[in-house]
Amino acid sequence: MFLFVLQAKYREYPVAIKITEIKKRYTQEIKELEEVYMMQTVSGHKNTVEYYSSMIYATPESRQLWCVMEYCCGGSLYDLQKVYKSIPEYGIQYISREVLEGLNYLHEKCIVHRDIKCMNITLTYPAVVKIIDFGLAAQLRSPDDITSGACGTTCWMAPEVIACKYYRNCTYGLKVRCKLCKYSAFSGTSVPTNSLPIAL
């Protein structure tokens, strides 16, 4: 269970420490270790968050996984939208290109992020776009492989994901469209929040 993120310093360099509580269940331990593996795998590209290290902090009462990673001082796109209300077209073009480059890198490694949203796209100084949070990411066996399951944040899901149908990396086309247009692609009453403005 994700708890919080701390800002810290390592040898005078700012870092972020993501702290997750590990329940005493084998399946959750595997899930947390999979996220660490994903971060190690994708680290090194300019548009994915840099992973440094991880450790287990244990007390008699609880166990926590501490993941040390790059600190994104610019905040998320959601934070940016709250401050500036709107982003100029050239800014959207730049952010979209950087996000697509990051996604292309993930797809080359046969990884599906499965939770792309404004809160998981952050900025470093000077305005380098970073994809973060690989807790729901899936490793495919090949570029043509498919996966299934409704996971992610409802307003940001493609219809085939919500319907638990099989899908490939191409579902990101809809997500990027939603970010560019600032609204969900579809509206309806079955999921009331899916017609709300999307923060970009």
Omega cis (within 30) before 126: yes
Question: Of 64, 65, 72, nearest to 132 (Cα)?
Answer: 72
Q: What is the rounded CA–CA span in Å between residue 6 and residue 173?
A: 33
Question: Is 22 strand, coil or helix?
Answer: coil
Asked whether the beta carbons of 46 and 87 are under 8 A apart, the reply is: no
Residue with the two structure tokens 């440094």: 52
Identified catalytic residue from 79, 115, 133, 144: 115
Look up 144 and say whether it is catalytic: no
At residue 69, φ and ψ (nearest 5 deg) are -145, 175
With b meaning 16 or more CB within 10 Å and e meaning fewer, what string describes 116-150? bbbbbbbbbeeeebbbbbbbbbbebeeeeeebeee
Question: Is 118 strand, coil or helix?
Answer: helix
Question: Where in the sequence numbering do the catalytic residues fall?
Answer: 115
